Chain A
Amino acid sequence: MNVNFKKRMLTPDTQHSSTLMDRNTWRKKQPWVFIAICFVMLLLPLFVTQSSMLFLLTNIFILAVFAMSYDILLGYTGIISFGHAMFFGFGAYSVALSLTYIEQAEVALLVALLAGVSFSVIVSFFVGLLSLRLKDTFYALITLAVATIFLVIAEQWRSFTRGDEGFNFTAQVPTELFGFINLIDRQTVYYLAFLFLIVMFLVLRQFIYSPVGRTLQAIRENESRVSALGYSIIRYKLISTIVAGVVASLAGMMYAVSIRFVNPFSTMDVDVTIDALLMVVIGGVGTLYGAIIGAGVIEIASHWLMGMRDVHPIFERWVILFGLVFIMSILFFPAGIVGTVREKWSKRKGKRSSQK
């Protein structure tokens, strides 16, 4: 009998114990990797002084939070939404409208926070209640319909929302919020957006490892089984849609603070939802930090491809190239970047341990 085969017969669980060890080692290393990344990101503005680069990174942080909110729906509950951007829009518009119509900046931002969050809770609750009792596809269609209604309202109610021209509220953005925060300063907004990303990541991580989060993952895997264990599926799905809606709304608020301009198409259009979906799929569905990586990849790629327009006329059609890259990556890396790396890592370690 082959010696290696004998070894495997004697220790049938080698591969498992090695992957478990890898997972444990990775878990031990995780906080250090996290701290190192935070450290680099905190120091970055000291070396990168280009405003456009800081703007790009700020955008990545904010869209990463938006993508994470989509991952809660898709990756952790198994629900597809085509209208998730409406929550992003609620947040963005609540900031734009509050800063425009309320004089004192602190009060305006507090009103925006309360209005954006409560409106998102109400809408996600009723949309979920209407559609989640049926098949999940109905949720996708109803969110699309409701998002379209809000898009049309934002576009048509010109006296209040200024229609498709949108708001430019740079003049209203506070330069001395609470006496010391200058929201016009790109570096300050960068740090705020980064802090926002870190806080939301930790909150959502806590959420997915909570009993509710575990139940949602179980629902994603097998709904009827969870129901037979005594859980009301609709209640848990509603929790998921509300959490995702509120987080998307918060991302929308941060986006408005950073961009200082909102219009219906840049915040509520179905394209914005599709972007979040792609960020999650490319980064890795159901991994949370895959959404951050996906946001980074997509934002940097689109920024780079747009810049290439000056190099060759073919890059005028950069969106088509972008689409091709997406199709290729979904065909060849269906588990996304994080998922593929995880698979390769555990396979490699499994091979190594069986060779020993």
Chain B
Amino acid sequence: MTMLQVRNIETYIQEFHILQGVEFDVPEQEVTVLLGRNGAGKTTTMRSIMGLNPATKGDILFQGESIRELPPHVIAKKGIGYVPEDQDIFSDLTVQENLRVAKRKENEKTEEREKWILELFPDLKIAYTRKGGNLSGGQKQMLSIARALVNETPLLLIDEPSKGLAPIMVEKVMEALNVIKQTTTVLLVEQNFRMASKIGERFYILDEGRTVHHGQMRQLEEDKELRQKYLGIA
């Protein structure tokens, strides 16, 4: 079953026509990766799904229901978690407070999920009372993912989780994502092809605001020419 369907969406940021026909499907219980060079429209696609940069044309269906015209807070409540590219930690709040804000409601379920998250990211457990602004880059990334997961989240959108992280932190985040994908459908934007290929099952390539290619991740790993053409990597 398809969790998310993005149908030929077009998005403007001010007068700039950023997305000019993006379409893809995110099947349930899989990791779908959006690839493309810088400026291809990957982040705008994520923000359009969340309603932060609403698409002006096309449609976005989540579990069969159109969400294109909904405000971000309603989309989030429907069960889409979003981990933005720049993490956006609330730097004046502690790790605990960041998680509390993310919970919306405190009940047994969210308590249990928080426990699970702290087991998944032991670094956050250690830094529990520390302010967001005092965390390392890796810890911020973990907290950003943790915040998106603390509620029931059937679909998780993650934008470049390895960006700016030390290799050891990338490994930790990757390990966590491998656990998360067992219970959650993931749409991942990732420039680090090694990480993307280890986690992802299928891919879509965006170029100049359009979907230009898609397939199974295995195929892309084997197709040097395609990687060179659209991603600029051998």
Contacts and interface: CB of A to CB of B under 8 A. Distances in A.
Interface of A: 16, 19-20, 211, 214-215, 217-218, 221-222, 224-233, 286
B92 A231 contact: no
Given A227-B73, A229-B76, A230-B73, A222 B104 contact: no
A225 B88 contact: yes
Nearest to A230: B76
Contact of A227 (B52, B97, B151): B52
B90 interface: yes
Interface in B136-180: 147, 151
Contacts of A227: 52, 71-73, 76
Contacts of B100: 211, 214
Nearest to A12: B136
Nearest to B52: A224
Nearest to A221: B90
Contact of B101 (A19, A20, A214): A214
Contacts of B90: 217-218, 221-222, 225
A236 B100 CA distance: 16
29 contacts: A16-B130, A16-B134, A20-B130, A211-B106, A217-B90, A218-B93, A218-B98, A221-B90, A221-B93, A222-B90, A225-B84, A227-B52, A227-B71, A227-B72, A228-B52, A228-B72, A228-B73, A228-B75, A229-B76, A229-B101, A229-B104, A230-B73, A230-B76, A230-B77, A231-B73, A231-B104, A232-B71, A233-B73, A286-B92
Contacts of B121: none
A226 B50 contact: no
Given A221-B93, A228-B76, A229-B147, 11 more contacts: A214-B93, A214-B101, A217-B90, A218-B98, A218-B101, A221-B91, A224-B72, A225-B90, A228-B52, A231-B104, A232-B71
A16 B94 CA distance: 13
Contacts of A218: 90, 93, 98, 101
Q: Which 5 A-B pairs have the closest CB atoms?
A: A230-B76, A227-B72, A225-B88, A230-B77, A218-B90
A224 B85 CA distance: 13
B151 A230 contact: yes
A229 B97 CA distance: 14
Contacts of B82: 228
A232 B73 contact: yes
B40 interface: no
B129 interface: yes
Nearest to B148: A229
A244 to B, nearest CB: 19
A117 B88 CA distance: 37
B43 to A, nearest CB: 13
B101 A230 contact: no
Interface residues of B, number: 27
A20 B129 CA distance: 8
Interface in B46-100: 50, 52, 71-73, 75-77, 82, 84, 88, 90-93, 97-98, 100
B3 interface: no
A229 B51 CA distance: 12
A228 B134 CA distance: 23
A226 B82 CA distance: 11
B72 A221 contact: no
A226 B147 CA distance: 11
A35 B171 CA distance: 51
B77 A217 contact: no
Q: Which of A19, A225, A227, A233 has the most CB of B within 10 A?
A: A225
Nearest to A225: B88
B102 interface: yes
Nearest to B84: A225
Given A226-B101, A228-B82, A229-B102, A217 B73 contact: no
Nearest to A211: B100
A215 B72 contact: no
A233 B101 CA distance: 13
Q: Which of B92, B98, B106 has the most CB of A within 10 A?
A: B92
Contacts of B129: 20
Contacts of A20: 129-130
A211 B129 CA distance: 16
A264 to B, nearest CB: 38
A16 B77 CA distance: 35
Interface in B175-211: none
A233 B88 CA distance: 16
A79 B222 CA distance: 54
B104 A230 contact: yes
Contacts of B73: 227-233
Contacts of B50: 228
Nearest to A23: B129
B119 to A, nearest CB: 21
A226 B104 CA distance: 10
B69 to A, nearest CB: 15
Nearest to B97: A214
B165 to A, nearest CB: 17
Contacts of A221: 90-93
Nearest to A286: B92
B211 to A, nearest CB: 23
